[in-house]
Chains A and B, each alone.
Chain A
Amino acid sequence: MATLEITGVRFEAGGRAILRDVNLAVAEEETVALLGPSGSGKTTLLRMVAGLDQPSAGSITFDGQDLRGVPAHRRGFGMMFQDHALFPHMDVAANVDFGLKQAGWPAAKREARRSEVLRLVGMEGFEWRSIERLSGGERQRIALARTLAPEPKLLMLDEPLGSLDRGLRERLASELREILGALRVPALYVTHDQFEAFTVADRLAIMNEGRVVRTGSPRELWDEPGTEFVARFLGMENILPAATVPGLAGESEATGDGLVLVRAEGALLADDPGPGVVSGTVVSLHFHGASTELRLRVAGTELSFELPSGSDLPAEGAVAHIRPPRIQRVEPGEGALL
């Protein structure tokens, strides 16, 4: 049973449509990542669910109850903000206690809960530290602890790892996955980083220009991007007209103007052209260690392949034949990203 249901939500600000007809459901205990380029409306949607902004049209229900008119501080949801929004005039303990006090927890229970969440995020002993003296990663953990403390019925995380450097981000993303998994509440996770979304979420909702354009598990989306937009957003750039790939031309006569996605991972060199093989001129070779990126010009489009460095690679300017693991159809458009 879906606990959070977003139906036909629209939002206009200053005459501009930020959200146009968003539909999304989040099931009990499910973590859904809202993934999309900046400006696609992810954070706005989060603020609608939080009650910090009100939709112009559409409905948001939680456990069947319409949330319209319920102010943010009465929804019982938790939100972790981008750049954390910790209260700078309070110490760690006071930040974590804030929500507990609002919820009327007695002092003894408060203290126990505070220790519990600080332990959960690995920050025991930081109670009396001032916020100003915490590092970026520490702030992130305290922000999470503060959000989790009052046991929110729904958790929202807005680019929680956005301001951290790459290595720390990857480590914390796995930790977040474990914490969210143990919590058993629905969660919405906003990010623009597909690897972070893959790590943390059970399901992805890809957003573009104010709409959810695709939902599915990370695996489903990776295997079948379906549209050019999703493919490009997941970092797959080998997209070209179906007609230019030999062996596909005949098969796709009915939709000769369609696009295909040539999967780059696990591609191998072929000796001859043929069905399922793309042929073109080698534009450049970039040595990456174990693999080498080979850029191939096929009918005016540049494709990129990762080939094992050990193989006998063709020289720049030579004609090469490559057999990708799969060539799959994608619908053009959905607002081309690049």
Chain B
Amino acid sequence: MRIDARTRAVWLALPALALIGLFLIYPLAEVLRVSFARGESLSPLFEDNYFAGRLWFSAWQAALSTALSLALAIPLAWVFACHRFPGKGTLEALLLVPFVLPTIVVAVAFTALVGPRGALNVALMKLPGVSNPPIDLMNTLWAILLAHVFYNAAFCARIIATNWRAIDPRTEDAARMLGAGARQRFLAVTLPQLRNGILAAGALAFLFCFTSFGVVLILGGPKYSTLETEIYRESLFLFRLPIAAILAIVQMAVTFSAVAISTRLQSRVPGGSHGRRESAFTRETLVAGSAVLVVAGLLTLAPLAALVERSLHAGDGYSLRYYTMLDENVRGQALFVAPIEAVRNSLVFAVCTALIALPVGGLAALAAVRARSTLVETLVQLPLGVSAVTLGLGLLISFDTPPLNLRASPALIVFAHSLVATPFVARTLTARLRSMDPRLRDAAAMLGAGPLTTFLRVELPMLSGALAVAATIAFATSMGEFGATLLIARPEYPTIPVAIYRYLGQPGATNFGQALAMSTILMAVTASAFFAITRAGGRDARF
């Protein structure tokens, strides 16, 4: 009967598998089909090192971004895992904000900091003798790298710090008693035990940077192009779908490997705590610790501060002009509708996404835990392995013709967002369900409660925190989704990120100002969602 119950539980994953089958597997199969379709010339792929060049650039910029992120993340993990200082919790949460921000916001924030009209240049031009913008990092590799480190450093630090806290501090004490100095202790005892955490964090950072879209598209400009941005250009501007499809398949091979590696490594990152005592900074560590925090703090806060400051700076002084203009649709502007419509669309899509992803992902989590099925768990995580633009391309190809002509319907956007949000929802709830003592269900049964009563009175109340976290994540994921939405959104239904991108593409300070204002709104929404999660959810918050 227990075996039967386990088998039956697998059916709970059906909605998730249907969603994945229809909006991920089927579109990817279509991409595959198109890439093998005859009659199209694939020769452009091999001209001028076109293909190898994109692949090579995607890989090495990702590798370099990862290395730089880890270089900041490891000291940061040391600060957070081994020390206590006033304001630590707030600072740790604050530094994580970039990770939850939509890529478009990050790209706009860096434009607001280091672009020609950016805060840094404006400040420098106030100096005597400086008339032209002295720094222009726009359309350079530096802007891309900076944004990627901004994105990934604190996130990597969090994974590594978790690993660090799980190291038995007595191993370090033992090394000390055996005569090892601080340096030797770190290199010979601590670092080897951190290996899995560092590798898992690195694999994830590589994955994010390899498929990075908004950052490369906006900060890199036409000069720098990864597979991801190239798929976008090929499909939307050059209409060379077979070439885009082949690029997408190569990219998928890389991302699936990275996901597989990081999932395996992450399962080996030890959790729990060995009662590691966090100590105050000593005279020697204070300098190093503060330096790490200042660098990380500046990198995190400067772009965000610049974004807010620039969005309030209209014309010659500070005003809310860019914000008040959001409900006007000036004729001839980039959008067919007023920007405020984009805000409304985003909110509606995000609520719908949460309403779909929560039950679908929740049931999948129940299925994975009850049936103890790693297969179900892995299948539900599949959408994470597919880049946003590839997904958009797949949906573009698959749902363009009857019987599945959803292209004109905003429902397609909601389904795409739900697909992307479901793995996060399932992950959050799976972790919470796993941490629940299975004997609580047995105890309820022994007290006369049937399966439904047990679920409603014991499991659901205990899940409420995790459910709130999952709903918030689904909401924020939908609000920020950029790559897939950019490909499938019809002009009548732009979302905030799509609207921002269109504004950025238009000349003039007013358009840029509107992009800044909308980015600031989006940042405020996602950051408050994140803080709500960390405050309310506490231990249920997993990313």
Chain A contacts to B: CB under 8 angstroms: 47, 50-54, 71-74, 76-79, 81-83, 85-89, 98-99, 102-103, 146-147, 150
Determine if B260 is an interface residue (Cβ-Cβ < 8 Å): no
List 10 contacting pairs A-B, 8 Å CB cutoff, sorted by A: A52-B445, A54-B2, A73-B445, A73-B447, A73-B448, A79-B443, A81-B439, A83-B437, A98-B444, A99-B446
* CB-defined contacts of B448 to chain A, threshold 8 Å: 73-74, 76, 99, 102-103, 150
Chain B positions 1-22 with a Cβ under 8 Å from a chain A Cβ: 1-2
A72 B440 Cβ-Cβ under 8 A: no
Query: Residue on A with the closest CB to B447?
Result: A99
Q: In the complex, are the beta carbons of B447 and A85 less than 8 A apart?
A: no
**Chain B residues whose C-beta falls within 8 Å of the C-beta of A72 in the assembled complex:** 442, 445-446
Which 4 residue pairs are nearest across A and B when measured between Cβ atoms? A99-B447, A102-B448, A85-B439, A72-B445
The answer, yes or no, to whether B411 is at the interface (CB within 8 Å) is no
CA separation between A253 and B453, bound complex, in Å?
67
Among residues of A, the one whose C-beta sits closest to the C-beta of B444 is: A98
User: Helix, strand, loop or mixed for chain A's interface?
Assistant: loop
On chain B, the residues within 8 Å of A99 by CB distance are: 446-448
Q: How far is the CA of A72 from the CA of B437 in the complex (A)?
A: 18
Q: How far is the CA of A71 from the CA of B444 in the complex (A)?
A: 12
The interface residues of chain A lying within 8 Å CB-to-CB of B440 are 85, 87
Interchain Cβ contacts within 8 Å, total number: 70
Nearest neighbor of B446 in chain A, beta-carbon distance: A79
Question: Could you tell me if B442 and A71 are in contact, using CB atoms closer than 8 angstroms?
Answer: no
Return the contact of A81 from the options B443, B457, B462 (Cβ within 8 A): B443
- For B4, give the chain A residue with the smallest CB separation: A54
B458 neighbours in A (Cβ, 8 Å): 87, 89
Which chain A residue has the least Cβ–Cβ distance from B442? A52
Question: How far is it, in angstroms, between the C-alpha of A74 and the C-alpha of B437 when the chains are bound?
Answer: 22
B29 CB to nearest chain A CB (Å): 37
8 Å CB contact of B442 from A79, A87, A98: A79
CB pair A102–B443 under 8 Å, yes or no, is no
Greatest chain B CB density within 10 A among A51, A87, A88, A146 is at: A87
In this complex, which of A54, A77, A78, A85 has the most chain B Cβ atoms within 10 angstroms of its Cβ?
Answer: A85
Question: How many Å lie between the Cα of A102 and that of B458 in the bound state?
Answer: 13
- Write out the residue numbers on chain B whose beta carbons fall within 8 Å of the beta carbon of A79: 442-443, 446
How many angstroms between the C-alpha atoms of A76 and B446 in the bound complex?
Answer: 7
Contact A85 B437 (CB under 8 A): yes
Chain B residues packing against A (C-beta within 8 Å): 1-2, 437, 439-440, 442-450, 453, 457-458, 461-462
Q: Which residues of A contact B2 (CB under 8 A)?
A: 52-54
Q: A69 to nearest B CB, angstroms?
A: 9
Bound Cα distance A71, B2 (Å): 11
CA distance A150 to B447 in the complex (A): 7
Interfacial chain B residues near A89, Cβ < 8 Å: 458, 461-462
Q: Min CB distance, A53 to chain B, in Å?
A: 6
Q: Which of B437, B439, B447, B449 has the most CB of A within 10 A?
A: B447
Asked if A102 and B453 make an inter-chain contact with CB atoms under 8 angstroms apart, the answer reads yes
- CA A77 – CA B444 in complex, angstroms? 12
Given contacts A85-B437, A88-B462, A102-B453, contact A71 B447 (CB under 8 A): no
Cα-based distance from A73 to B445 in the complex (angstroms)? 4
- A235, chain B: closest CB distance, angstroms: 30
How far is it, in angstroms, between the C-alpha of A73 and the C-alpha of B447 when the chains are bound? 6
The closest CB in chain B to the CB of A88 belongs to: B462
Identify 15 new A-B residue pairs, CB closer than 8 A, beyond the known A73-B445, A99-B447, A102-B447.
A52-B445, A52-B446, A73-B446, A73-B447, A73-B450, A78-B446, A79-B442, A79-B446, A81-B442, A85-B442, A85-B443, A86-B443, A87-B458, A89-B458, A98-B444
Nearest-neighbour CB distance to chain B for A83, whole angstroms, equals 8
Instruction: For the complex, give the distance between the alpha carbons of A85 and B443 in Å.
Output: 7
CB distance from A200 to the nearest CB of B (A): 20
Name the distance in Å between B536's Cβ and chain A's nearest Cβ.
15
A88 to chain B, nearest CB (A): 7
C-alpha spacing A215/B521, complex, angstroms: 74
> What residue of chain B has the Cβ atom nearest to residue A149's Cβ?
B447
Residues of B within 8 A of A52 (CB): 2, 442, 445-446
**Residue in chain A with minimal CB distance to B438:** A85
Give min CB distance, A67 to chain B, whole Å: 12
Smallest beta-carbon distance A140→chain B, Å = 14
Q: Is the CB of B446 within 8 A of A50?
A: yes
In the bound complex, what is the Cα–Cα distance between A82 and B442 (angstroms)? 12
CB distance from A73 to the nearest CB of B (A): 4
Contacts of A85 in B (CB 8 A): 437, 439-440, 442-443
Cα–Cα distance between A129 and B476 once the two chains are bound (Å)? 37
Distance between Cα atoms of A240 and B443 in the complex (Å):
46
Contact A98 B447 (CB under 8 A): yes
Query: B2: nearest residue on chain A (CB-CB)?
Result: A53
Given contacts A81-B442, A87-B440, contact A146 B447 (CB under 8 A): yes
Residue on B with the closest CB to A103? Answer: B448
A residues in contact with B449, CB < 8 Å: 73, 98, 102
Closest to A50 in B: B446
Interchain CA distance A81-B444 in the complex, whole Å: 11
CA distance A72 to B439 in the complex (A): 13
Q: Which residues of B contact A86 (CB under 8 A)?
A: 443
Which single residue of chain A is at the shortest CB-CB distance from B448?
A: A102
CA distance A305 to B358 in the complex (A): 67
Which of the listed residues A51, A89, A150 has the most CB atoms from chain B within 10 Å of its own CB?
A89
